[in-house]
Amino acid sequence: MDKIFEVIRASRKALLSLVENLTTEQMNKIPTGFSNNLAWQIGHLVVSQQVLCYKLSNNDFVIDPSLIDKYRNGSKPESFITAEEIDQIKGYLLSTIDQLEQDLVDQKFNNYTPYTVSTYKGYRLERVEDAIKFIVSHDGLHYGCSLMMKKFV
């Protein structure tokens, strides 16, 4: 799992680097043809990891729970995302992975509820390790979307 965590961190650092010089307005801009923005992309990665790992294991979230509905699968930005919230979700991007790695060592995910992801038809997560492996692909998908979006903001 060490290599998987390394890949997740590298991908998330690349995403942070991609948006580091953007204004709050640029982070909030929804380009034509897209249903969300760069701020939402970051928040969605954080929330997806929390839902797939913590919620499905009946553990408490390690992020502000008010973010879950704002960035969950199927959501879209309903209002302007403040600079403070953008900073908060940027901070969570790496801190939640550090916490996940420690919680995995501490065996906090023994009560995992299997889940079939909607992104890849029929792909079923049977245990938290499956979810963590899926995060690699999911993060890469949204990094690619973010690369495209940045061209239009």
Tell me whether strands 124-125 and 115-116 are parallel, antiparallel or unpaired: antiparallel
Give me the amino acid identity at 138: H
Instruction: Give the DSSP letter of residue 51.
Output: I
Instruction: Give the DSSP letter of residue 57.
Output: G
Q: Give residue 122's pLDDT.
A: 80
Q: CA-to-CA distance for 112 and 128, rounded, in angstroms?
A: 7
Q: Give residue 118's pLDDT.
A: 83
pLDDT digits (tens, 9 = 90+) for 95-142: 999 999 999 999 999 999 999 998 777 899 999 999 999 999 999 999
CA 98 to centroid of chain Cα atoms: 14
Q: By the 8 A CB rule, do 72 and 55 touch?
A: no
The total number of residues shown for the chain amounts to 153
59-to-3, 41, 64, 89, 99 alpha-carbon distances in Å: 24, 24, 14, 20, 13
Give the three-class secondary structure for 116. Answer: strand
E-only strand ranges, 77-149? 115-116, 124-125
Average pLDDT over residues 52-81: 97
Q: Give residue 138's pLDDT.
A: 95
pLDDT digits (tens, 9 = 90+) for 3-58: 999 999 999 999 999 999 999 999 999 999 999 999 999 999 999 999 999 999 99
pLDDT digits (tens, 9 = 90+) for 124-135: 999 999 999 999
Tokens representing 105? 């060592």
